[in-house]
Amino acid sequence: MPSPAADRPTACLALADGTVFYGMGFGAEGQTVAELCFNTAMTGYQEIMTDPSYAGQIVTFTFPHIGNVGVNPEDDETADPVAAGMVVKWMPTDPSNWRAAEHLSTWLAARGRIALGGVDTRRLTRAIRRSGAPHVALSHDPTGTFDIEALVAAARGFDGLEGRDLARTVTCAQSYRWNEMRWAWPEGYAPQTDPKHRVVALDYGAKRNILRCLASAGCDVTVLPATATYDEVMAHDPGGVFLSNGPGDPAATGSYAVPMIQQVLRDTALPVFGICLGHQMLALALGARTIKMNHGHHGANHPVKDNDTGKVEITSMNHGFAVDAQSLPEGVIETHTSLFDGSNCGIRMEGRPVWSVQHHPEASPGPQDSYYLFERFAQAMAERAA
């Protein structure tokens, strides 16, 4: 394969409005189309790329030092990257961390994910904030040969995320048990050997660390596919039901998930806890609406206010849709609010152990500001069993 000239771009990002960003490619070669978002986290790029909630999206990282600690199997949130690609300011350097097992570029290439470096990510982020998350085409060709007209057309032809049920594309194929707890020194990921509560977790794109947090709270976790029915959930005789994170339009996933949740709420008194897409599923089941955000919330530095206590938590977020707080019906309380834009970040049913949050309490940005939510879930199950 011919080598590109030193000053010739080997990758480019074409936006649907015709804007093109050039740079140097790494990771896999080829072309992909997706929605473009930006993430403001300073750490956790591997966890972000393997978070199933990023299905259908390319991630622009605002922090420039992406790749500097390499990658390792322990930090995967699922088996392989789910985000369609990544855009960064500086090309990744050789990793400098004792946990590194692989170079970021090698890891991406082996898993078919395209990346673009050398881009003015500040300019790109401003464009996203101003005009909303754009549809884009990302191309990596070591020869530096690009058909810009075709790339812009491909970006314009992308269906977008509204109306798309992506949970089906990332959910598990069959049920499985989970007993691995959060990482702790020196054991690492130890197994849960004395669980107190039987939990069914609906997998709309579940992150591994959410399941670890449930196990660390004393839960014996059985994970079911997103399409599981009420009877399939209840066949496991759960003490509580957990609704996971996931990608896509919540209204589309809700076409099959909401009736199951509504039956759980109607026919049982089980505690129910949801995170991210699970939060949106619960809100829809209770009669609220969801809306597409301009550019969403993606980062590990989002302040969220607990409206019950007045406490402010530093949270991790990853969502392009939100629950419309104005649509919450009587008997559903708004428990958490974003201090960035006032959008809804949590709800609970009045008088019932049923609640959910939009942010990710398992992602440790605070680092443990929101772990209490898992303990609250365990306590609700213990009180019901008493």
Q: Yes or no: is domain 11-156 CATH 3.40.605.10? A: no
Alpha-carbon span 67 to 23, nearest angstrom: 17
362 is catalytic: yes
Beta strands in the chain (DSSP E): 11-15, 20-27, 30-39, 57-61, 85-87, 114-117, 135-140, 176-178, 180-184, 188-191, 197-203, 219-225, 240-243, 272-275, 290-306, 312-323, 332-338, 344-349, 354-357
- How is the chain split into domains, by residue range? 11-156, 167-385
pLDDT digits (tens, 9 = 90+) for 125-170: 999 999 999 999 999 999 999 999 999 999 999 999 999 999 999 9
297 is catalytic: no
Do 11-156 and 167-385 come out as alike in CATH topology?
no
Q: What percent of the chain has pLDDT over 70?
A: 98
Predicted structure pTM score: 0.96
pLDDT digits (tens, 9 = 90+) for 328-338: 999 999 999 99
pLDDT digits (tens, 9 = 90+) for 285-337: 999 999 999 999 999 999 999 999 999 999 999 999 999 999 999 999 999 99
Tell me what pLDDT residue 1 has: 31
* Active-site residue (options: 276, 298, 345, 359): 276
Homologous superfamily assigned to 167-385? Class I glutamine amidotransferase (GATase) domain (3.40.50.880)
197 is catalytic: no
